[in-house]
Amino acid sequence: MSTIEPVTSVEEAEAPSEPTDLTRADLYLNRHISLLAFNERVLAQARDPGVPLLERLKFLCITSSNLDEFFETRVAGLKELQAYGAWQVDVDNRSPAETLRLITARAHELVVEQYRVLNEELLPALAHEQIHLIAPKRWTKAQRAWVRRHFEEEVSPLLSPIGLDPAHPFPRILNKSLNFILSLEGKDAFGRNSALAVLQAPRILPRVIAMPQEVAPKGHCFVLLSEIIRTHAEDLFPGMQVKGFYPFRLTRNSEMFVDEEEVDDLLRAMEGELSSRRYGDEVRLEVARECPTEMVELLLKQFELEHSDVYSVDGPVNLSRLMAMIDQVERPELKYPPFTPGLPRELVGASGSAMGNLFEVIRKGDVLLHQPFQSFMPVVEFLRQASQDPQVLAIRMTLYRTGADSAIVDLLRQAAIRGKEVTVVVELRARFDEEANISLATRLQEAGAHVVYGVVGYKTHAKLTWVVRREGRQLRHYMHLGTGNYHARTARQYTDFGLLTCNPKIAEDVNHVFLQLTSLGRVPRLQRLLQSPFSLVSGLLERIHREIDHHRAGRPAAIRFKVNGVTDREVIQALYEASQAGVPIDLIVRGMCCLRPGVPGVSETIRVRSIVGRFLEHPRVYYFENGGKPEVYCASADLMERNLHRRIEVAFPVLDPALRQRVIEEALDYYLRDNMQSWLLQDDGTYIRADVGDEAPFSAQGALLKALASEGTIGIG
């Protein structure tokens, strides 16, 4: 039932009313709770019997890693604000302390459900398929013998237990590392009778180990590293008894702070900050459920945490490590069917051979790519041809996330070595990819490329490649603009759009953006692109209000957005105003959404849905009906304050009518029809799963695979 009061009561309906105050706190949902709700929808995939079994386990692991990042960044940030006494409120007008209380209750419920799904649903289902995570009490004699050998040969030499006494203080605990606290009885060789010890599991050791076939003749048998160590812990303390053995895991603040205006070399400053990330302020303690109260109290005191920060778990203290089981089990029938990404028709030659001269193809017309249903390889091939073509003079590119072994970085290096002018804007502050980006920046510099780190105070999140090629007496510019990162692995897991074009006006705009990133000067007026922090938010607001004017004049009007997050107050207020005017609005929002749909008198024409399926929904698409002349933009930016005001982002128009129609159908129409993986946001902030009802089942991702993938046995469902 709705928790929002109507703007006017029935009795007041005929009386003139004051304009609605669209800044009212009750018109906004809490962003952090909204993000936890997204994790609950991901966890629902782990419960769904229609999802292949090993993929269900993967979704469980994803919820665990998502929750790690949530605590490392969002909870950590709120705790910092609370510690400093800051009264910084969110769009829903809650203080950090109030938000933390909401998070604590919701997160504890989520963790309990995670372990219930593991123990009551997934492990029994896996065992039925002869995939076992075997507890010590179920080991056979042969398995016990193997475990002992493995402990003595592979594990024990790397362990360094620390007895706690005045000469051995509590060790520093790495962020998210596996640790054990032990209670002991007896005296050692020096007559010491310390009752406590701490043991840290080396990160080099796998947390889930597959037993060899000779001791696991049926199916796949796995054992946890923690159980191997627990079983032979007394070997580490000769002459003493281990009375208690309790795994624990500490999550720390992982945000990095570098005062960019006070450092001379951002790369060196980031390198220095990386090492401190492992020992940031403590924010969460995970302990085994059987850990006694006195042990928990000791750990809480050691880490200066509250009881609300403790999460007692019925299983491994890090569920994401169970992903290793998926990687080691070759059971195709328990995973999503494989597929081969397709290629746009423009890139397939008459003989069936793919991707000839891409510059010739792009000159004939723009090329739209929709990953992962279509291949990411044309982007790599575009760079390959640019790096090898003697007519190509210069390449400029933005890199946010690329992966450790990136073919794109190698091609940029080759281009620089061949003497081309290569300029790369590397975002060193891409969260949790800082170390990889520092490494690739160094490699590029060593090859002779110009490497810059963007603009102080603004993350460079735009996805741009710009190639200058001499053709006769003129220079022609070729570009790739995208909604996703230049990362081959995530291009198989995330849905995104990319555009290959040589449109002169877009080229001029892209050139201006790169000049901003690498040089100094005022911002020119862009002709085609919208760019944050300058024209993107104003451009979107202008178009939202234009739809209001169209609707009031009786012309066709509609707004449809597909994004990852909607949290910006100014944009939400504009959407509320459009809804009050009667403009139909459909929002497809993967994660955080602070907008409340369906509020009487405020957002009655707004519908919000979230799609959670095989692939992570990642593109940002902005559609405006515009009086019957639709405008469509694809973008790197979400409707969030950081994207619109504190990042350098680009939204690019899809100008070709056929490609524009493709984006409308593939990014919007398909997803608004989805009744299998779709969740509908209610005005009280809850999500309900779409009901197939009398309609034919329809999965947007399944339909796109069938339509765009060149091979595979993927059905609509």
Residue 432 has pLDDT above 60, yes or no: no
For the chain, the farthest-separated pair of C-alpha atoms sits apart, in whole angstroms, at 91
6 pLDDT exceeds 50? no
Buried-exposed string 90-117: b where 16+ CB fall within 10 A, e elsewhere: bbbebbbebbbeebbebbeebbebbbeb
Fold (CATH) for 530-712? Endonuclease; Chain A (3.30.870)
Is residue 353 very low, low, confident or very high in pLDDT (cuts 50, 70, 90)? Answer: low
At 710 the pLDDT is 63
Residue 118's pLDDT is what?
Answer: 98
Output the CA–CA distances (angstroms, integers) from residue 404 to 413, 487, 618, in the order listed: 15, 9, 21
Strands 530-532 and 647-653: antiparallel
pLDDT exceeds cutoff 80 at 521: no
For the beta carbon of residue 267, count every other beta carbon within 10 angstroms: 17
Of the residues 150, 461, 480, 512, which is catalytic?
A: 461
Residue 391 has pLDDT above 60, yes or no: yes
Contact 558, 585 (CB under 8 A): yes
Mean pLDDT of 544-573: 98
SS3 content of the chain, % helix, strand, coil (to 5): 40, 20, 40
Q: What pLDDT does residue 20 have?
A: 86
Per CATH, 142-334 and 530-712 having the same topology is answered no
Mind listing the pLDDT tens digit for each residue in 245-295? 999 999 999 864 433 334 344 444 444 444 444 557 899 999 999 999 999
The number of angstroms, rounded, from the C-alpha of 340 to the middle of its chain's C-alpha atoms is 24
What is the predicted pLDDT for the residue at 354?
Answer: 65
Q: What is the mean pLDDT of the chain?
A: 89
Q: CA 401, 407, 408: angle at the middle one, nearest 5?
A: 60
**615 with 680: CB under 8 angstroms?**
no
Q: What is the mean pLDDT of residues 563-592?
A: 97
Token pair of 599 as six digits = 């509020």
| Residues facing residue 468 across a β-bridge | 394, 477
Amino acid found at 627: G
Q: What is the pLDDT of residues 208-237, one digit of tens each?
A: 999 999 998 789 999 999 999 999 999 999
- Each residue's pLDDT tens digit, 444-474: 888 888 888 878 788 899 999 999 999 999 9
Q: Residue 436's pLDDT band (boundaries 50, 70, 90)? A: low
| CATH classification for the domain delimited by 358-518, as one of 3.40.50.970, 3.30.70.260, 3.40.718.10, 3.30.870.10 | 3.30.870.10
The percentage of the chain sitting over the pLDDT mark of 70, rounded to a whole number, equals 88
E strands within 559-708? 559-563, 585-589, 606-611, 616-617, 620-624, 631-635, 647-653, 678-681, 687-689
SS3 state of residue 437: helix
Give the tens place of pLDDT for each residue, 633-681. 999 999 999 999 999 999 999 999 999 999 999 999 999 999 999 999 9
Name the residue with higher pLDDT: 541 or 193. Answer: 541
Q: What is the C-alpha separation between 703 and 696, in angstroms, rounded?
A: 13
Q: What is the CATH number of domain 142-334?
A: 3.30.1840.10
Q: What pLDDT score does 681 carry?
A: 98
Q: Is the pLDDT of residue 412 over 60?
A: yes
Are 339 and 247 a contacting pair, CB within 8 Å?
no
pTM, two decimals, is 0.90
For residues 52 and 335, what is the distance between their CA atoms, to the nearest angstrom?
5
CB 500 within 8 A of CB 382: yes
Q: Extract the tokens encoding 414.
A: 């080759």
Residue 597 has pLDDT above 70, yes or no: yes
CA–CA gap between residue 643 and residue 58 (Å, rounded) = 29
Q: What is the mean pLDDT of residues 184-200?
A: 76
Q: Per residue, what are the HEC states of 188-214?
A: CCCCCCCCEEEEECCCCCCCEEECCCC
Residue 13 above 50 pLDDT? Answer: no
The confidence score (pLDDT) of residue 526 equals 93
Residue 452's region, left for phi above 0, alpha for psi from -120 to 50, else beta, is beta
Picking from 50-64, 77-91, 180-194, which range would have the lowest pLDDT averaged per residue?
Answer: 180-194
Does 351 have pLDDT greater than 50? no
pLDDT in tens, 298-343: 999 999 999 999 999 999 999 999 999 998 999 999 999 999 999 9
Reply yes or no on whether 480 is catalytic.
no
Distance between CA atoms of 466 and 395, rounded to whole angstroms? 6
Residues belonging to the binding site are 66, 401, 431, 494, 590, 618
Residue type, 401: R
Q: Which residue has the higher pLDDT, 183 or 713?
A: 183
Domain ranges of the chain: 142-334, 358-518, 530-712
